[in-house]
Chain A
């Protein structure tokens, strides 16, 4: 029978001296080579629609709060083939990036509106509203917040009729490797939800791979 273990992973506040100095510890489920699969809800007022989405992590540099990978959208109506994009992520580690985006057309109000969609954000909300979360120590928090911004189309031209103008607010669960996200683009339907699960690609268990840049 599973044993319930008391949850002690609440975010703590750091002293002013240490503010902005923490780097998130590595999480194996968010390491290079890991794959995720799920859907992105792209419903509009006219119709309900969801695209199947596959994501793979290709690069991770926790010192710089950087993550990148590819996102593959399947059954996209106007595309003959799956559409692959390359994205780069900002990890909210309060050292390199805070919860406030300060770019890509997102105001701090937009930020709060999106972050609050994640239940795991609620313990952090009041502090984030005060200082963007700068004084939070998230190094032992079991969720990782990120922004993923698609940078270019990998296998189709920019004339494919699709846009990558927006970006995703993302919450990753370190426990089970699930990813939740909300797409933000003032010119697209609001709060398009991305839901991904860590996948084993036909295996009976978790598998890991790595490369080492020289």
Chain B
């Protein structure tokens, strides 16, 4: 009721100082240490765990005032030497307030860093008063847990020695800080090796037997040092019959969920870098089951568990099969069914499901049988961009199922509409993920491709094919290529009307090789099917055909040339005019001119290019076509016969068989001699 709310607010006002008053006291040059100490305590009590309050105080400029108090107190303490209870209390309280601002709040971290708190806090670690050291270490740890904290420069001055001194300290918050700095800053293999050589790994292993804080922070930093570095991992798992590895395995049974999670993370890092380790079925199964169980944790552990599960199974079919057998899909879907999940957890679950469905059809079938398509569609309108992207990635992987593409499972309004809408998303990563999903969905082998066109999908894809971002451009062209696969003449017209001849021509000549390749594959699909499609490459003064030929003559990447040659193969499967046009492009009749580029392709080390080139020759020399004889004569003059003879026993079976066909056809046509 309004009355009681007012009463409550009034009583609160009486007991709690207003923010402006606190900040005023903090920044006043007249205020005594006692007043400032009281203000610091008041501030700390108000902001702890309260984002809104942190933001309010941030706007009032509280952070620079607190850092300034810390700075003056530290300087004063350093001048006096020895203990000074008043000063130490001020330092401890201001360090605690700074830590609170930084705790899980990026804007707070930024303000703390901008105010220059980091070097002052670091100086507290060598303070004589253990409580001051403790407060400094806690605060620094909170700062280093944020991505915004600067990377610690291991190789600068005495930094490595300082780091070791942190790890060797008896104070568990200080050792925790050392580990936290490593987790935050260790990225390169040079840093990983240097830390190992300096004895950091050895020290961290010894800390695994320490307090919960030491154990957890050591596990986390060990994962950072071992990540993707087989050399350091071998040094970790090797000594004392793998004692360290066994210690980590043992910690997967720890009573603390976070310790179990971090131990799993360490083992996943080791397995991913050195697949020969942790191959035992029992340990693999155990990892899957522990991570699944941790997913039930209502806090941060439960949020992080699906990400670690995801890194355990990504790209590894054996692990995906094992997870499938352990009913991971059902269990993840159970979490989705519960609904109202936090964004990070939802994102992690979709990514884990996506990885599970990346390769195995059995997983896709299972996921679809659990009506998970609806969860993905629902998540596409989630507030969090990460969730929207993860839902699209999940749809992308599940729609790799050719069986379901053939059944038209995805090509319906309820799926197409929300994904097409995400093509206009404000986040680039969501757009890319939506494009990935659409690329697969539009392969649809049923006659439902018109559904996609009706929903304005082509218009959006064409827009994105002109994006400044090359990843978006490539994905958009890939989607158009897939849409063009086995499509009716009417749909081809509709797509080309939107795309236009000139845009397609520019895409063939795009600065990005991957875009060129997709654009050429799109043209290949355009000129496949009924011969009517071929006329498009001759429109606008043969602009498409000329662009294709230019690419095969100048492209540096063989993949581009292969696609280009298949375009010409398809055009050469048309009528006489089409065949002659291809002939003129590939074998121009210039007396004394250079050798045809086709000879170069037939001699390529890349068997796929040899195959594509021979197919063009097969189509140009089909004996039942009226101009075949004339073309065969030209080809002979160009040295094709002797080249084909050399290919009769090509190491690639496909090339060998096609070369024999082309050679046989040319022999049938003869050379005109009596």
Contacts and interface: CB of A to CB of B under 8 A. Distances in A.
Classify the interface of chain A: helix, strand, loop or mixed.
loop
Contact of B530 (A25, A26, A201, A208): A201
15 contacts: A1-B667, A3-B663, A5-B649, A9-B653, A28-B615, A58-B445, A174-B657, A175-B661, A205-B573, A206-B618, A208-B528, A211-B443, A212-B481, A214-B436, A214-B440
B572 interface: yes
Contact of A204 (B518, B529, B573): B573
A70 B445 contact: yes
Interface of B: 396, 399-400, 402-403, 405-407, 436-437, 439-440, 443, 445-446, 475, 478, 481-482, 485-486, 518, 521, 524-525, 527-531, 566, 569-570, 572-575, 579, 608, 611, 615, 618-619, 622, 624-625, 648-649, 652-654, 657-658, 660-661, 663-664, 667-668, 670
Given A3-B667, A142-B653, A204 B406 contact: no
B653 A25 contact: yes
B406 A154 contact: yes
Given A68-B406, A210-B521, A202 B531 contact: yes
Given A206-B615, A207-B529, A68 B574 contact: no
Given A25-B654, A214-B436, A208 B566 contact: yes
A142 B657 contact: yes
A86 to B, nearest CB: 5
Contacts of A118: none
A204 B625 contact: yes
A34 to B, nearest CB: 11
Interface string A179-214: 000000000000000000000111111111111111
A8 interface: yes
A113 to B, nearest CB: 28
A27 to B, nearest CB: 5
A174 B658 CA distance: 9
B653 A213 contact: no
10 closest residue pairs by CB, A with B:
A205-B573, A205-B619, A59-B402, A209-B528, A214-B436, A211-B485, A203-B573, A211-B482, A2-B664, A207-B573
Contact of A152 (B407, B439, B611): B407
A1 B670 CA distance: 7
Contacts of A206: 569, 573, 615, 618-619
Contact of B396 (A27, A70, A154, A214): A214
A208 B440 contact: no
A208 B619 CA distance: 12
Given A3-B663, A70-B445, A204-B574, A210 B524 contact: yes
Given A58-B402, A204-B622, A213 B443 contact: yes
A208 B615 contact: yes
Interface in A26-56: 26-28, 33, 56
B611 A28 contact: yes
A93 interface: no
Contact of B653 (A1, A27, A211): A27
Give the one of B618, B624, B657 with max A CB within 10 A: B657
B486 A209 contact: yes
Contact of B525 (A56, A88, A210): A210
A142 B670 CA distance: 27
A127 interface: no
B530 A204 contact: no
A68 B530 contact: no
Given A5-B648, A204-B619, A214-B400, 18 more contacts: A1-B667, A33-B485, A58-B406, A175-B660, A202-B531, A205-B569, A206-B569, A206-B615, A207-B527, A207-B570, A208-B569, A209-B485, A209-B486, A209-B570, A210-B524, A212-B521, A213-B443, A214-B440
A140 interface: yes
B524 A208 contact: yes
A13 interface: no
A104 B298 CA distance: 46
Contacts of B572: 205
Contacts of A12: none
A213 B436 CA distance: 8
A151 B407 CA distance: 11
B575 A151 contact: no
B518 to A, nearest CB: 8
B629 to A, nearest CB: 14
Interface in A51-67: 56, 58-59
Contacts of B436: 214
B208 to A, nearest CB: 40
Contacts of B396: 214
Given A1-B667, A210-B524, A204 B575 contact: yes
Interface in A91-139: 139
A62 to B, nearest CB: 12
B445 A213 contact: no
Contacts of B569: 205-208
Contact of B570 (A2, A58, A208): A208
B439 A212 contact: yes
A134 to B, nearest CB: 21
A68 B521 contact: no
A155 B233 CA distance: 56
Nearest to A68: B402
A214 B618 contact: no
Contact of A2 (B400, B437, B530, B667): B667
